[in-house]
């Protein structure tokens, strides 16, 4: 098992999803059990499903200085950066440490695929993209990082992590390694994924999309609801006396089992949980709440429910919050990290939205209703396609 690490202080964090813009909106939605899913109004051909669409993205305008980067994914990133004064916190860190000493590490799975789709739909007579979509960086996996780097004026390490649904959880692990090695003094981490036809039709072709709002861990669940989101956090090494929430540990693993199905016994997920606990110096019994990956797919929920029941005591509570946001894919890690931090801050444990009868595989840890309870240590699970797993451990000083 890995050695215990020194924790990281989380100096700022924010999330924007179908549940709301910023942490106050998310807290309100979670407390009042107001979900953000709505009937699909995005795809160009009919597709019966519900989606977590962020309002206002399509009409948002980027500043003139960033106009060359205009695409739906970057507009969502810009909307997210401007919530909770996050962009001001980021610029203050850059001012303090210098533009070369702040890392930018972002997760995404779709990057700006939607812009490329649009380009092909609007080819001119000569077969060229329209002029507004000819910026080459719009059409590669680094589109998001390139945009945010330019928006913030960063000149330090800039990294794209694309490991499907664990992408923006694994950014925390990369940041810890960079900070521990002294490569940088601060790290901006996060993730952005926006809706596009390729993702919706792709998951539909895999028969993973529910025709109704997703019902995580429900005995009659019918699949996932895809969403979009942006989220960011600012990390630095923690110091004695800090009152900030902390990243205590992380665990990463690979199932090496199947392209889209988890290991049937949850081997990779178990290894990631064990590694996160070891780096945090915690035991399973120390965990008060787990924000589960809980996609509402048959296989994920089956394996994750059995794993949680076997690893954690009955007093640990656990739930999936994808009924509020949908499955935001490459942004799921950061959105659910933010929800975990809100749970710590408000001593509030969200339940599960839309589900009514838990699968018989669920242990006493998984619950449907919201709860108020003291929290010291929280885990956030992210398990991606290809068996890319990441578990984050958070706590208060």
Q: How far apart are CA 193 and CA 118, in angstroms?
A: 16
* Identified catalytic residue from 49, 71, 165, 362: 165
Got the DSSP string for 109-173? Answer: SSTTHHHHHHHHHT--TTSPPPGGG--GGGGSTTHHHHHHHHHHT--S-EEEE--GGGHHHHHHH
Phi, psi of 342 (to 5 degrees): -65, -40
Count of beta carbons in the 10 Å neighbourhood of residue 288: 20
Cβ-contact 56, 79 below 8 angstroms: yes
| CA 240/CA 255 separation, integer angstroms | 37
Q: CB of 17 within 8 A of CB of 52?
A: yes
Question: Alpha-carbon distance 26 to 5, whole Å?
Answer: 30
The residue annotated as part of the active site, out of 89, 146, 293, 377, is: 293
Residues facing 236 on adjacent strands? 9
Question: Pairing relation of β-strands 348-349 and 371-372?
Answer: antiparallel
The reply to whether 293 belongs to the active site is yes
How far is residue 289 from each of residues 227, 254, 283, 314, 340, measured CA to CA in Å?
Answer: 24, 24, 13, 11, 8
Q: What gap in Å lies between CA 71 and CA 363, rounded to an integer? A: 44
Cβ partners under 8 Å of residue 392, min gap 6: 169, 172, 247, 249, 250, 276, 333, 337, 340, 379, 380, 382
Residue 315 CA neighbour count, 13 Å, CB half: 9
Task: Give the neighbor-by-neighbor strand order of the sheet with 50-52.
Answer: 38-39, 50-52, 226-227
- Tell me whether residue 362 is one of the annotated catalytic residues: no
Which residue is catalytic, options 89, 146, 327, 377?
A: 327
Number of H helices and E strands in the chain, helices first, is 11, 16
Under a CB-based contact definition with an 8 Å cutoff, are residues 330 and 225 in contact? no
Q: Which of 158, 153, 157 is nearest to 141 (CA)?
A: 158
Question: SS3 of 93, please?
Answer: helix
Provide the annotated active-site residues.
165, 293, 327
């Amino acid at each position: 098992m890995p050695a215990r690490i020194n924790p990281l202080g989380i100096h700022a964090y924010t999330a924007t999803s179908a549940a709301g813009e910023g942490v106050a909106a998310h807290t309100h939605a979670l407390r009042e059990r107001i979900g953000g899913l709505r009937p699909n109004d995005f795809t160009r051909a009919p597709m019966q499903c519900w989606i977590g669409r962020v309002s206002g993205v399509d009409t948002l305008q980027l500043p003139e200085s960033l106009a060359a980067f205009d695409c739906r994914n970057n507009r969502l990133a810009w909307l997210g950066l401007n919530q909770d004064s996050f962009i001001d916190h980021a610029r203050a860190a850059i001012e303090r440490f210098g533009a070369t000493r702040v890392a930018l590490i972002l997760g995404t799975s779709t990057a700006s695929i939607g812009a490329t789709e649009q380009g092909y739909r609007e080819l001119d007579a000569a077969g060229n993209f329209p002029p507004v979509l000819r910026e080459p960086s719009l059409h590669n996996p680094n589109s998001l990082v390139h945009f945010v780097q330019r928006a913030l004026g960063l000149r330090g390490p800039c990294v794209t992590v694309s490991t499907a649904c664990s992408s923006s959880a694994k950014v925390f692990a990369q940041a810890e390694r960079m900070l521990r090695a002294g490569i940088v003094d601060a790290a901006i981490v996060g993730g952005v994924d926006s809706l596009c036809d390729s993702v919706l039709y792709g998951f539909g072709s895999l028969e993973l999309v529910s025709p109704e709002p997703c019902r995580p861990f429900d005995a009659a669940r019918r699949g996932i609801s895809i969403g979009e989101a942006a989220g960011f956090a600012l990390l630095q090494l923690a110091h004695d006396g800090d009152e900030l929430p902390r990243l205590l540990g992380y665990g990463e693993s690979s199932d090496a089992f199947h392209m889209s199905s988890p290991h049937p016994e949850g081997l990779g997920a178990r290894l990631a949980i064990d590694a996160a606990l070891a780096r945090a110096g915690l035991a399973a019994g120390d965990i008060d709440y787990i924000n589960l990956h809980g996609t509402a797919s048959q296989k994920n929920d089956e394996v994750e429910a059995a794993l949680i029941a076997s690893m954690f005591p009955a007093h640990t509570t656990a739930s999936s919050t994808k009924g509020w946001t949908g499955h935001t894919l490459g942004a799921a890690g950061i959105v659910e990290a933010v929800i975990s931090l809100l749970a710590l801050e408000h001593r509030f444990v969200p339940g599960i939205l839309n589900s009514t009868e838990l699968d018989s595989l669920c242990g006493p840890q998984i619950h449907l209703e919201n709860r108020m309870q003291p929290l010291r240590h929280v885990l956030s699970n992210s398990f991606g396609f290809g068996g890319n797993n990441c578990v984050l451990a958070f706590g208060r000083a």
